[in-house]
Structures are given as structure tokens and as C-alpha cells.
Amino acid sequence: MRRIAILAEGAFEWHHGKTATGVIKYGQDPIVAVIDRANVGKDVAQALNAPFGQGIPVVRDIYEALKLEPDTLLIGVAPTGGDLDPIWRSQILAAIEAGLNIVSGLHFFLADDAELSEAANKYGVTIWDVRRVPDKKRVAQLVPHRTGSKTILMVGSDCATGKMSTALELDIEARRRNLDSAFVATGQTGIMISGNGLPVDHIICDFIAGMVEEMVLDFADKHEWVFVEGQGALNHPGYAPVTLGLIHGSNPDAMIFSHIAGLTTVDGYENAPLPSLKRLIQMNEEAISWIRPEPPSKAVGIALITHRLSEEEALAEIKRVEEETGLPTNDPMRFGVANLMDALERHFAE
């Protein structure tokens, strides 16, 4: 087991800090501290207003974190573009000099940086660049999944709408029901949590669908239920190509749609208003129908993120979305996924 300190300087919140929050909530290794000077003195639960992370302190810098004896520094920020913020470099170097291994999900590969690589060699530590893609190329071949397997893909209206968390919660719920289930990671945070997967947003576009197809076929050969982490959104101005490659590569038998309550535009794109939920869902169903018209793949439930709402407001919004779409809806992090799993079991029993 690693003892992890998480670097989340300036971004310990739900969007750009989603790597930190995901690893804290779902990872198996103990988290000894989070580094973010804006929230010093709080614990994780207080900083995020979350029902998890009690007792994990938020500290000022790597030097305070070292007092808690971590052996690993994990970069917990997922910035747009994935570059290394210059203000993080001194803290990463200090961690290396203290003998900590480094885990990073940035598009910028730390192991390829001369200064950081030289320091890692000098102090005998490893740098794991999670987004480094396997050295292979594969174009999708539209190979059918094993008969009897059930592949469910998480799709959504934007980035950071809870697609990974929903897939993980569904996997947990399926195993609680004694079903043969697996979670398939397709992004850096999911890979950090599960220890395997593909960083699809760093794969050459021609090979996204093919490499995802190969991975999902392997999981479907081994498991009855396969929950695939989603990425981006078909309506996203920047990341739609990744999403389309993932949809076609995973070739899902069903989908769960993820959305943030109250979201009206794509985050960071004020001139990209969101269509209605019904239209967004229809877009994803259309995209998979281009390669598999029969049997059709449908969204069978909605994961609605409501952390900005009170509990009363959240329950009312869940009911409203159910009425609008006709689909079972829940907030996986606040109220669980039992009704979404019920919907999936009914869908596959039909």
C-alpha cells in the first residue's frame, strides 16, 4: 500500500480537482494529506463539503505533507490542456529529493522532463506518467462482444459530470448483488484507482476506437457486466472526437447519461448552450446506432450530480428530470445507484 500525498494546489474542488477527489473517494491507498494553501486548516470533507475525506488534512506545501510520512506524491489536478503548472515544479522536486515516487496524469510527461528525470534517477524514485499510451496501433474492427455479456458506457452533457464515479458506483452495486462485474478505466483518474485501463484522450484519433474495442472485448470475455468510464461529451466543442471514438470502440449494449443539475452551457464555453436532456440523450443514441442499428443501444437511466443543491432541492430536481425524460434518475454520490442498477437489470431482462 502506498501512502499518498496529493498535490492539488489552487484546484482542490470538484471540476479541475476531479483526479484528487476521485482517488480520495475510490482509491485503495491511504491518503495522508492534500496540498492546497487555499484550504489549509480544513480536512478534505470540509474543503469539498463532501461526505468523505474526514480526517485527511489539507496542508500548505510538500514540506508540511512530508511530516505525515508519505511515500508517493500524486498530481491531483486535471487542468485544461494537461500542462505542468510552473508553480508545482519546486514541490515535485522537493518530493523527489525526499524519496517520494511520483504519479501524474498530466498530458505533460514528467519522466520526459530533463530536470525531473535527472532528480528521479539521482534519488532512486519512479515517475509514473499515467497518460503514457501503450506502444501499439489498432483500428476498430467492429467485433461483436461475447454473447451474454453486458457492456454499459457512461455518457454525459459535459466533462466532469460524474461519469467515472457513476461507473464505479454501478460496479460496486453490481458486485453487492453478487453479479460478475468489472470497471473499465478510460482516463487518468480511473487508471490510478483501478491500476489498469487506457488514457483514451492521449491516443491518436485513428486508433481510439480500435484500442478501446480490444480492451472492452477482453473485459467482456471475462465478465458478465462491464461498466465503461466515459470521457468528454459529444456536444463538447473541444473533446467530442474522444467521446465518439469511445462510443464506437466500446460498442455499448446500454448507456447511463450523466449531467450536472442546473448546467445550461458547456463549462468554459458560454457560447455553447446545452440542448435539452432529451436531445442530448438522443445524440448519443444516434451516434452508436451508426455502427449498430440492431439491437439498439439506449440510455436507460440518468446520473444527476446535485452537490450544489440542498437535499430537498436535489430530490425535487431528480423527480423533475425523471418526469422530463421518462428515465430513472438519481445522484450516485448522494443517494446511490440502486434504481439505476434496477433499470439496467430490467433492460437486459426484456
Taking only the tens place, the pLDDT of each residue in 63-76 is 999 999 999 999 99
Query: Are 122 and 185 members of one domain?
Result: no
| Percent of all residues in the chain with a pLDDT value above 70, rounded to a whole number | 100
> Distance between CA 197 and CA 239 in Å, rounded?
19
**Integer-rounded Cα radius of gyration of the chain:** 20
In a domain, 270, yes or no: yes
| Percent of all residues in the chain with a pLDDT value above 90, rounded to a whole number | 92
DSSP character string of 150-200: EEEEEEESSSSSSHHHHHHHHHHHHHHTT--EEEE--SHHHHHHHS----G
Overall number of domains in the chain: 2
Q: What is the pLDDT of residue 207?
A: 97
Q: What is the pLDDT of residue 109?
A: 95
The domain boundary, picked from 94, 129, 164, lies at 129
- Compute φ and ψ for 149, nearest 5 degrees: -80, 155
Q: What is the pLDDT of residue 123?
A: 98
Does residue 79 have a pLDDT over 90?
Answer: no
Query: Are 339 and 224 members of one domain?
Result: yes
Region 90-99: what's the mean pLDDT?
Answer: 97
Does residue 350 have a pLDDT over 90?
Answer: no
Region 239-245: what's the mean pLDDT?
Answer: 97
In a domain, 252, yes or no: yes
Binned at pLDDT 50, 70 and 90, residue 49 comes out as: confident
The domain boundary, picked from 95, 129, 163, lies at 129
Domain of residue 225 covers: 150-349
With vertex at residue 106, the alpha carbon angle to CA 103 and CA 110, rounded to the nearest 5 degrees, is 60
Does residue 281 have a pLDDT over 80?
Answer: yes
Query: Are 124 and 162 members of one domain?
Result: no
Query: Are 254 and 333 members of one domain?
Result: yes
Handedness of CA 276, 277, 278, 279 (dihedral sign): positive
